[in-house]
């Protein structure tokens, strides 16, 4: 009989994020369990601080190990906007609104950043991942979620929304943060891959 898979609880209600988190952590042998829990959501320009404070607010209340993830899109010519406010900006003006702000703008450089906070053994560690890229001229593709239809990762022609889950997860900010987190946790659980 095979050993049971170690479980990681993930505090997110975004099905797109959960799908990616399950895919990436699954490669390291983890079983992902979504967890509904009220966490503290502070306003800060620093994604890592947002994720850390949210995770700390769950210590002692959530089963461990658990992950709280915060991410955002940072557009160079808009001085990093929408950054930590990406979720609000997506809900209000969406991809079309961002494309309007970028109309006629030559410098289309942008990056996605992810801060994944791990609650384990009563303390919190934060892991960061980034992917550089550019804002497309128009939305393309039907996959993914959020700003995926307008983000083209550096060195690629497709937007995230035109990529398969595997293709996006080979380069994404979320995968990079979670891969570091998974290696760290496996070491601490003494379960080397």
Collapsing DSSP to helix, strand or coil, 171 comes out as helix
Nearer of residues 79 and 193 to ligand IMP, judged by Cβ: 79
Q: Which is nearer to ligand IMP, 41 or 187 (CB)?
A: 41
Quick check: 70 binds ligand IMP (CB under 6 A)?
yes
How close are the terminal C-alpha atoms of the chain, in Å? 18
CA atoms within 13 A on the CB side of 5: 13
Interface residue with ligand IMP, options 146, 162, 175, 185 (CB under 6 A): 146
136 binds ligand IMP (CB under 6 A): no
* Torsion 141-144-146-148 (CA) sign: negative
- The residues assigned a catalytic role are 70
- Cα–Cα nearest to 21, from 11, 7, 35, 32: 32
Nearer CB in complex with ligand IMP: 57/71: 71
Q: What is the binding site for ligand IMP (CB under 6 A)?
A: 14, 70-73, 86-87, 90, 112, 144-148, 160, 172, 174
């Amino acid at each position: 009989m095979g050993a049971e898979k170690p479980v990681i609880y993930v505090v997110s209600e975004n099905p797109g994020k959960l799908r990616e988190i399950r895919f990436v952590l699954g490669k390291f042998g983890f079983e992902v369990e979504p967890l509904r829990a009220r966490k503290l959501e502070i306003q800060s320009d620093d994604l890592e601080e947002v994720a850390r404070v949210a995770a700390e607010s769950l210590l002692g209340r959530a089963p461990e190990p658990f992950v709280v993830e915060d991410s955002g899109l940072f557009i160079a010519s808009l001085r990093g906007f929408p950054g930590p406010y990406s979720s609000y900006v997506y809900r209000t003006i969406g991809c079309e609104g961002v494309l309007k702000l970028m109309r006629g703008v030559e410098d289309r450089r942008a990056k996605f950043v992810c801060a994944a906070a791990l609650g384990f053994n009563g303390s919190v560690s934060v892991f960061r991942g980034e992917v550089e890229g550019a804002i497309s001229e128009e939305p393309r593709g039907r996959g993914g979620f959020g700003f995926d239809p307008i983000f083209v990762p550096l060195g690629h022609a497709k937007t995230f929304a035109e990529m398969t889950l595997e293709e996006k997860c080979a380069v994404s900010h979320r995968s990079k943060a979670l891969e570091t987190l998974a290696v760290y946790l496996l070491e601490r659980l003494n379960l080397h891959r």
